[in-house]
Amino acid sequence: MSPKIANQALRRRWSGIALIAVPVVATVWLGLTDQLILYIHPRYVVFTLIMGLIALVLIVSSFVQRPDDDHDHQEPRGRLRGILAGTGGVVVVVLAVAMLAIPPATLSSATVAQRDINGSALGNNRKSIAQASSASASASAKFTVLDWSSLLRQTSDPAFYANKPADVVGFISPDPDDPANVFYVSRFVITCCAVDAQPVGVPVYLPNWTGTFKKDQWVRVTGAFATNPSSTSRQQLALGVDAIAAVPKPKAPYLY
């Protein structure tokens, strides 16, 4: 084999190994730093890490294997393979930057706008009317955004929510029908991974909220549900604000 062909074969081999190694290393790193939950459900983290470690072992073993001689002496095919190897190198660099250099980001209100908040995809998730009807004030204060959103889908009777204070944490996503006065305290519910994330939210009535808070800002809101005073919002009930404060984004921002 000529030195030129040997170098081309070596570049192809290393490019192939790197293309596999970069996403595997990034996945293992995300898992070890507790950031993999930004992409997949926590129940899959251990399995993913085990598969990633197995892949790393196979990658390391490929380093000690001697590649087969490349008997392809046809210059056109060799040139094409060289181009593909170079392209693979560029892809490796892009993957490395995207997966290792850029910090993982949570889904935001931009994704909420593309999906149906409190949509039917929630299915039978969380609280039912029967479960919540007898809940004490202290118990209802522990309900999550998902719990409240499922209840709001089942009933809009203000009497049901009497003596049931809410204490919820989430990020702000504006109500498209009255963005100046109503917003959702929002979270994403993940069944498998971020691809299937379903936005849920609790409508909050707070006139001119944009003067104090920003879209996507994380807040904690306490209050009680009542008839929505907004004349344009389609939400029949909204959380009246007793107290609201900006809070840091939780380490685990999604609900499961």
φ, ψ for residue 96 (rounded to 5)? -60, -45
Please give the residue that has the higher pLDDT: either 205 or 61: 205
- Interval 162-221: pLDDT, tens: 999 999 999 999 999 999 999 999 999 988 887 888 999 999 999 999 999 999 999 999
| Residue 73: per-residue pLDDT | 46
Per-residue pLDDT tens over the stretch 223-239: 999 999 999 999 999 99
Question: In whole angstroms, what is the distance from residue 182 CA to residue 205 CA?
Answer: 5
Q: Are 153 and 126 in contact, with CB atoms under 8 Å apart?
A: no
* Beta strands at 198-205 and 166-174: parallel, antiparallel or unpaired: unpaired
User: What digits encode the pLDDT tens for the residues 89-124?
Assistant: 566 566 556 655 566 677 888 888 887 888 755 555
Q: Which residue do the tokens 């719990």 mark?
A: 147
- pLDDT, position 247: 98
Domains of the chain with bracketed CATH? 3-101 (no CATH), 109-246 (2.40.50)
Confidence of residue 245 (pLDDT cuts 50, 70, 90): very high
Which pLDDT score, from 0 to 100, does residue 98 have? 61
Q: Residue 67 carries which side chain, given as an amino acid letter?
A: P
Angstrom distances, CA of residue 253 to CA of 98, 112, 195, 256:
21, 14, 15, 10
Task: Please give the Cα distance from 207 to 212 (Å, whole number).
Answer: 10
Q: What are the tokens at 239?
A: 């959380």
